[in-house]
Chain A
Amino acid sequence: MSDAETPSIDDAELPEESVEDVLEEELPQPELLHGVPVSESRGQVVLHPSREEYVALVASLREIGYWMCIDLCGVDYLGYGPNRNLPAGVAPERFEVVVGLISHTDRSRIRLRVQVPESAPQLATLFQIHPSVENPEREVFDMFGISFDGHPDMTRILMPDEWVGHPLRKDYELGRIPVQFKGASTAR
């Protein structure tokens, strides 16, 4: 705001600017937790780190007591209609990796939602921080095709090795078995 050169125009636009200023200054303040945007979903705390912040955040949360990574799963938001409840500044992407952390000392849980774009379905692994994510990350890779950089064994876990496609993606058709009726000439 200080880079304005002509004070007269600046004065005229001040009311509009100040509204934005207030919005920008007041919203992030309650919406930042552990340095990343935070939101609330049904009383549960949800953090929204970027892909770059993600690993460092999990590591620092571990330092303050979130010792256990309880869950890691993927979500494909393709075709999701309503508002995704993302805080300001977090751009929605097609995929999300959702991580659940738990602190036993203060008996609290925290959830991380990381946006993963369709164009580059990759994310850094948490394996070095929480070895417990080995199977869940493999499952996300298997079901959504999101690969985790640095994972020691990035292979399919539930589907056969030679399987094509990632079943839990929204554009992956639900399988159907043709039903053969007695006397019918073709399966329907």
Chain B
Amino acid sequence: MTSTDLTTLNSARDRLTSDGSVLRLSETEAEQKSGYQAPTEEGLGERMIMNMGPQHPSTHGVLRLVLEMDGETITRSKPVIGYLHTGMEKTGEELTYLQGATNVTRMDYAAPLFNELVFSLAVEELLGIEVPDRGQWIRMLMSELNRMSSHLLFMATNGMDLGAVGMMLYGWREREEVLRFFEAVTGLRMNHNYIRPGGVAADLPGGWDEELSAILDIIPDRLAEFDLLMTGQPIWRDRLQGVGVITAEEALSLGATGPLLRSTGYAWDLRRDQPYLKYDQVEFDVIAGSFGDCFDRYSIRLAEIRESMRIVRQIIEKMPEGDYRVQDKKVTPPPRARIDESMEALIHHFKIFTEGFKVPEGEVYVAVESPRGELGCYIVSDGSSKPFRMHIRGPSFVNLQTLPHLMKDSFLADTVAIISSVDPIMGEIDR
């Protein structure tokens, strides 16, 4: 962690609150002012309000940006969100704790297992139960693989956004390798509902380690190809280096976490700094950049794929035997075989899936390090089988606030690179 102090932090904050890089216009006003604008009285030249998105392919879904342009330069901007809002936090209040994982998994659809994980950890904290070792190691394995698949997706979209169209194919191809493993384990490629309160849905299938080793043999070579295709290329570097620069103090003031914060050289990673699961038993490096620009954010993610593979290799070696879910009759449904022979087991199974289990009253906040930063879950329980309030702290939602500051005084052509480097997932922003 680089040393920063309150004085520099204060000056960064004061700069942020007063530099006017955020365009605070209502949607209606933005629409009215859209298009050509006559020179203003202050003689600031020809300012123009421009709408980018929400249907623009480079805006990662349905992000809309209202940009105030001075020629080709962006003076102020505002991300407009909400186009994908489906009220998932409200829905979460209507679903039992067992159903809740199916809801949250759809938020950050590029890293669904992290959503399930943080929700389950919060529920388990309220229940006061501890998942058996094997369950925790499986969770860790799946999270790290998901981090890889999410970053590989970033490689694809980031390449595409910058005109390296071939990357769209290669990134997806490599991600597919990981998703195939997910399908073998969870039954689905996305939205798994695999990590549930109490453990995971099923044990790893036979031969999982060999299958995984095969994947881990392929990907390093492909990452070397990425390096060849992008990292060393002068055009690639020109488009990313020095673009969208942010300092550590600014990132801290804006609540940015994940690769965005680490790119500034501030090595903060919850896996190391506030360990959950069994992260204190594996070795890995926290990757930090030094310039806080788009290139650092790109290379951090590339390096994090390698670190995740390093963790996965250790998990394969250390995977303990035992239960993959807690043996607590209140939370865990009886095994399939028991249902065939016991009426009580059938009723028990039915009750858990229809009524759910009751969670003691209280409130708790739990956070994990998702590929995008701190993913938090705040649950208030009133003692019933449904959460009274379920709030997800989406890293993309908070990271998005850095966009106006990253884009200030940059060219329109760089916006796409900057949006891409923040790696926002709209499902999580709008929830």
Interface-located stretch among B111-119, B146-154, B290-298, B373-381: B373-381
Least Cβ–Cβ distance between B24 and chain A, in angstroms: 4
Contact present for B382 and A67 (CB under 8 Å):
no
Task: Report the Cα distance A158→B365, complex, angstroms.
Answer: 23
Task: Report the Cα distance A137→B327, complex, angstroms.
Answer: 41
Q: What string of 1s and 0s marks CB contacts (under 8 Å) between A134-165 and chain B?
A: 11100100010000000011011111110000
Which residue on B lies nearest to A132, using beta carbons? Answer: B255
Interface positions of B from 390 to 431, Cβ below 8 Å from A: 391, 393, 397-398, 400-401, 430-431
Which residue on A lies nearest to B24, using beta carbons? Answer: A153
Task: Report the Cα distance A78→B430, complex, angstroms.
Answer: 25
Task: Report the Cα distance A44→B27, complex, angstroms.
Answer: 40
Contact present for B94 and A41 (CB under 8 Å):
no
Given contacts A42-B364, A44-B365, A73-B391, contact A104 B401 (CB under 8 A): no
Q: Does B126 contact A (CB under 8 A)?
A: yes
Contact present for A104 and B268 (CB under 8 Å):
yes
Contact present for A160 and B82 (CB under 8 Å):
yes
Q: Does A130 contact B (CB under 8 A)?
A: yes
Contact present for A44 and B17 (CB under 8 Å):
no
Contact present for B398 and A136 (CB under 8 Å):
yes
Partner of B17, one of A109, A127, A153: A127
Task: Report the Cα distance A159→B431, complex, angstroms.
Answer: 11
Contact present for A159 and B378 (CB under 8 Å):
no
- Write out the residue numbers on chain B whose beta carbons fall within 8 Å of the beta carbon of A135: 397-398, 400-401
Least Cβ–Cβ distance between A46 and chain B, in angstroms: 8
Contact present for A167 and B252 (CB under 8 Å):
no
Which residue on B lies nearest to A105, using beta carbons? Answer: B1
Least Cβ–Cβ distance between A64 and chain B, in angstroms: 9
Partner of A134, one of B388, B393, B401: B401
Least Cβ–Cβ distance between B108 and chain A, in angstroms: 16
Partner of B376, one of A67, A71, A85, A161: A71
Which residue on A lies nearest to B20, using beta carbons? Answer: A152
Task: Report the Cα distance A76→B388, complex, angstroms.
Answer: 9
The binding surface of chain B is classed by DSSP as mixed
Which residue on B lies nearest to A67, using beta carbons? Answer: B252
Q: Does B28 contact A (CB under 8 A)?
A: yes
Contact present for A82 and B361 (CB under 8 Å):
yes
- Write out the residue numbers on chain A whose beta carbons fall within 8 Å of the beta carbon of B380: 75
Contact present for A42 and B126 (CB under 8 Å):
yes
Q: Does A36 contact B (CB under 8 A)?
A: no
Interface positions of B from 166 to 215, Cβ below 8 Å from A: none
Partner of A131, one of B17, B382, B388: B17
Partner of A71, one of B90, B389, B393: B393
- Write out the residue numbers on chain B whose beta carbons fall within 8 Å of the beta carbon of A143: 89
From B125, B397, B398, residue with most partner A Cβ within 10 Å: B398
- Write out the residue numbers on chain B whose beta carbons fall within 8 Å of the beta carbon of A155: 26
Least Cβ–Cβ distance between A65 and chain B, in angstroms: 9
Q: What string of 1s and 0s marks CB contacts (under 8 Å) between B115-154 and chain A?
A: 0000000000110100000000000000000000000000
Contact present for B87 and A167 (CB under 8 Å):
yes
- Write out the residue numbers on chain A whose beta carbons fall within 8 Å of the beta carbon of B376: 70-71, 100
**The 10 nearest A-B residue pairs measured at CB:** A132-B255, A158-B82, A153-B24, A158-B85, A73-B391, A71-B393, A82-B361, A131-B16, A42-B364, A75-B389
* Residues in chain B within 8 A of chain A (CB atoms): 1, 6, 9, 13, 16-17, 22, 24, 26-28, 81-82, 85, 87, 89-91, 94, 125-126, 128, 252-257, 268, 273-274, 361-365, 367, 374, 376, 378, 380, 382-383, 388-389, 391, 393, 397-398, 400-401, 430-431
The 23 sampled A-B contact pairs (Cβ below 8 Å) are A41-B363, A42-B125, A42-B364, A63-B6, A70-B367, A70-B374, A71-B378, A73-B378, A75-B391, A82-B361, A85-B361, A100-B393, A131-B13, A131-B253, A131-B401, A132-B253, A132-B256, A136-B397, A143-B89, A156-B82, A160-B82, A167-B87, A168-B89
A67-B252, A161-B27, A167-B87 known; 17 new pairs, CB 8 Å cut-off, are A42-B128, A44-B364, A70-B367, A71-B365, A71-B376, A80-B382, A80-B388, A85-B363, A100-B378, A107-B274, A111-B365, A131-B13, A131-B16, A134-B22, A153-B22, A158-B431, A159-B85
